[in-house]
Amino acid sequence: MFEPILKYKIWGGQKLKTLLNKSSDLSNVGESWEISDVGGDTSIVSNGTLKGQSLKQILSTYKDELIGTKNFKEFGEKFPLLIKFIDAREDLSIQLHPNDELAAKRHNSFGKTEMWYVMQADEDSNLIVGFNQDMTAEKYLKHLEEKTLTEILNFDQVKAGDTYFIEVGRVHAIGAGVMLAEIQQTSDITYRVYDWDRVDDQGNERELHNDLAIDAFNFNMPDNFRVSYDKDENKSNKMVSCPYFTTNYLTVSQNLKKQNIFDSFVIYICVEGKAMIRTEDKEQMIQKGQTILMPAVIKDYEITSEKATLLEVYV
């Protein structure tokens, strides 16, 4: 397990502290980065024999034993995923992310394909995902200029368990009152196109990136962002599978034997309850709001719980 990296955000709240037991003196905690290899924000191991070492250090030491042979060939000593919890006390900015090609060319970074799993949502809270009508660059720019962008955006009211797949090039925003788990490529590249005319304590508006964003939009995307999935107990139920990650929904209510057949690390994000994960010589409790990284070299293990819900992630 790793020490969470907590982030102050102007739109952040208290749920990560009160509901997920994150310890912080920050006034508005918007994000908890659970597993990160983003430059300047590398996760540090919180327990065990590797306590105090960074994710970058252990990847440099253990290489394919940590992330798998195929992943090491593709990514080298760069961990491919970023795992977060996000709490939006206020609406996040309207934004989108560039694809791999644009991100590499402009920022020397991966793109930012991501998914959201809603853990808690206040009554009538929503997510913005995509447009509510057919869109062109010309129509979008007209609404942006006239400050009527919200008229063309798709608002989805959400509840716990709702899941969304956010491909690069799709406009989106997390609405006020939503707490969620986010799984994404290792990237911190966001193009902000509208921020509700919000200002900080000094009266400054946050930077917008409309010149960069217009080339990153994909205006011809189908409305396939809502994820349907089964919830069979003691079985990995496929939620999202894309070139960058696969995420399964797993509710454990017994002693469940697991086998890693993926030539990849496996990440477990606990979104409800608590569970014990046992390998041949170690055991680790994971509870709601915690995340654990299982190295690729560990092939057989058990997960035991009276009732816990986990997101199971691998590449």
Q: With left for phi above 0 and alpha for psi between -120 and 50, is residue 147 left, alpha or beta?
A: left
> What's the rounded Cα separation, in Å, for the pair 194 and 163?
24
**Looking at domain 237-314, which of 3.40.50.2300, 2.60.120.10, 3.30.379.10, 2.60.40.10 is its CATH number?**
2.60.120.10
Tell me whether domains 5-216 and 237-314 share a fold. yes
Amino acid letter, 81: L
Query: Against a cut of 0.75, is the pTM above it?
Result: yes
What mean pLDDT comes out for the span 37-47? 95
Q: What is the pLDDT of residue 204?
A: 86
The CATH code of the domain at 5-216 is 2.60.120.10
Q: What is the pLDDT of residues 165-192, one digit of tens each?
A: 999 999 999 999 999 999 999 999 999 9
Q: With left for phi above 0 and alpha for psi between -120 and 50, is residue 70 left, alpha or beta?
A: alpha
Which residues make Cβ contacts (< 8 Å) with residue 40, sequence separation at least 6?
Answer: none
- Answer for the pair 272, 308: CB distance below 8 angstroms, yes or no: yes
Q: What is the pLDDT of residues 243-292, one digit of tens each?
A: 999 999 999 999 999 999 999 999 999 999 999 999 999 999 999 999 99
pLDDT class for 112, splitting at 50, 70, 90?
very high
How crowded is residue 263: how many other Cβ atoms within 10 Å of its Cβ? Answer: 15
> What's the rounded Cα separation, in Å, for the pair 281 and 243?
33
What mean pLDDT comes out for the span 209-217? 96
- Answer for the pair 46, 23: CB distance below 8 angstroms, yes or no: no
Which range, of 59-73, 200-214, 295-309, averages the lowest pLDDT?
Answer: 200-214
Please state, rounded to an integer, the average pLDDT across all residues of the chain. Answer: 96
Nearest to 173 by CA among 106, 207, 125: 125
Domain assignments of the chain as residue spans, ordered by start: 5-216, 237-314
Q: What is the pLDDT of residues 74-95, one digit of tens each?
A: 999 999 999 999 999 999 999 9
Model confidence at 201: pLDDT above 80? no
How crowded is residue 159: how many other Cβ atoms within 10 Å of its Cβ? Answer: 11
